[in-house]
Structure 1
Amino acid sequence: MMDQPRSHEPRNQTAAGRGREDKDPGSLNDMLDQLCEAGEDGGKVSVGDIWKTIGQRSFGPLLLVCGLVVITPIGGIPSVPTIFGVIVCLIAGQLLLGMSHFWLPGFILRIRTDKSRLTRSVEWSRPVARVVDRILKPRLTRLTTTPANRVIAAVCVALGLIMPPLEIVPMGAAVPSAAITIFGLALIAHDGLLAAIAFVVSLGGFWLVVSQLLL
């Protein structure tokens, strides 16, 4: 279960930005490789460790990680969808404000889980990643660059906000998380078609909130 150690200090935001000089992954499998490198084998891995591995300036990869974690088996841990929904809101909100260097509060960076659990979830995702990587390619790039990426950020803020209430719906948070994952992939690959698909999936998440929680 995700926990917050009392004595463990987070890897601070400045250090987090140095790990890979914010170099975006070239594919979904590259992203999974980066996740496997976060933290220490046999121990715990924190949000700060993942933050350091991915980099603070990489909007697409950060979105991808947040969405991907929730749709893997880790997403079944209580509070995980809420935690990553909050992270999505913070990161996407900062992009809306024009910031290129993203920030997260220390208490979120200290949240951690078992490295073995993260590794199992990554390996669970590998077959899907191989299929996805064959599909990705640059196209309709205007849908993934400014100002379109600000629209994506606004939608991701809304998706992050609906993730906590959807925790009470079985697998409910997986729908907005899937949209966030697809947005992340679209931004990394400059694939506007994929971004358009993510907008459609987002509508499914908003419909789920209305149908399951409001009606």
Structure 2
Amino acid sequence: MNQPLQSLQQLLERVGELTRHNDQVSIGMVVESIGSRSFGPLLMLIGITLFSPLSGVPGMSIFMASFVLLVAVQMLFGRKQFWLPHYILNRSVEHDKLQKVLDWLNKPARGIDRVLKPRLTFLVRNGGSYAIAAICVVVGLCMPFMELVPFSSSAAGLALLALGLALVVHDGVLALLALVIFGATFTLIVINLL
């Protein structure tokens, strides 16, 4: 069984292992490699996808919204292992496209991991993690509107990545930063849609 992830770099390395051994990498393969019990790494995966150039694929925001909602709602109900439908698990990308994204993210990931440490842990443990899941439900419900506002899904992806990392390394300061990014993104969407 895989050891729990403790950094963004470890997540990228696990996904990178899949690209070396498979022509197509499915979400199911990635979830299995990072563990289907861990809310933080799954949020990191969603965030990386939305923040990366893959967010430019039409419909990606709506697809990732369903992923966010499924995982966050299950966390709110206290499930120990997340269930995901086959239509999500079977989605795949060619290994060379995925490897380009991983290479693009590698240097920023190393820098981010150097800064993170456990701080304000009450914000990301126990009750705090349920509050994060509730926020993710709200974000998931807003994501279809992000198709209409350029770069808003990338900003939401950055915030989801930050929340996932905050849960993994127990960094409450990072969780607060993610909330600021969510607030700015929500404001941007409202201003552009009104």
**5 Å matches for 1:67-82?**
67-82=47-62
Change (3 A) 1:212 1:96: same
Q: Does 2:50 align with 1:43?
A: no
Q: 2:173 & 2:184 partners in 1: Cα distance?
A: 17
Letter in 2 for 1:125: L
Q: Which residue of 1 aligns with 2:167?
A: 187
Contact 2:121 2:172 in 1 (8 A): yes
C-alpha displacement of 1:39: 5.5
8 Å Cα contact 1:43/1:114 also seen in 2: yes
- Give me the TM-score of the superposition, normalised by structure 2: 0.95
Aligned pairs (5 A) from 1:21-170: 23-38=3-18, 41=21, 43-170=23-150
Ranges in structure 2 where 5+ consecutive residues have no aligned partner: none
Q: TM-score, normalised by structure 1?
A: 0.86
Q: Deviations over 1:81-107 (max 9, x none)?
A: 221121011101111111121110111
Kept in 2, the 8 Å contact 1:160–1:176? The answer is: no
- 1:161 deviates by 1.8
Q: How many residues matched?
A: 194
CA contact (8 A) 1:159 1:205 kept: no
Quote how far apart the aligned CAs of 1:169 are: 1.9
> Which structure 1 residue ranges, 5 or more long, are not aligned?
1-18
Give the structure 1 partner of residue 181 of structure 2: 201
Query: Does structure 1 retain, via aligned residues, the 8 Å contact 2:68–2:136?
Result: yes
Aligned-pair distance for 1:147? Answer: 0.4
Given that residues 50 and 156 in structure 2 are in contact (C-alpha distance below 8 angstroms), is that contact kept between their aligned partners in structure 1?
A: no
Letter in 1 for 2:178: A
Shift of residue 71 of structure 1?
0.6
Work out whether residues 27 and 92 of structure 2, in 8 Å CA contact, stay in contact via their aligned partners in 1. yes
Residue type of the alignment partner of 1:135: V
Q: Is the 8 A contact 2:25 2:92 kept in 1?
A: yes
| Larger RCO of the pair (alpha carbons < 8 Å, separation 6+) | 2
Letter in 2 for 1:181: L
Say which SS state the counterpart of residue 25 (structure 2) adopts.
Answer: strand
Would you tell me which structure has more helix in proportion to its own residues? 2
Name the SS for the 2:152 alignment partner: coil
* Distance of 1:121 and 1:107 partners within structure 2: 22
Cα distance in 1 for residues equivalent to 2:188 and 2:65: 16
* CA distance in structure 1 between the partners assigned to 2:131 and 2:148 by the alignment: 28
Give identity over the alignment, percent. 38
163-172 vs 52-61, greater mean Cα deviation: 163-172
Amino acid of the residue matched to residue 17 of structure 2? E
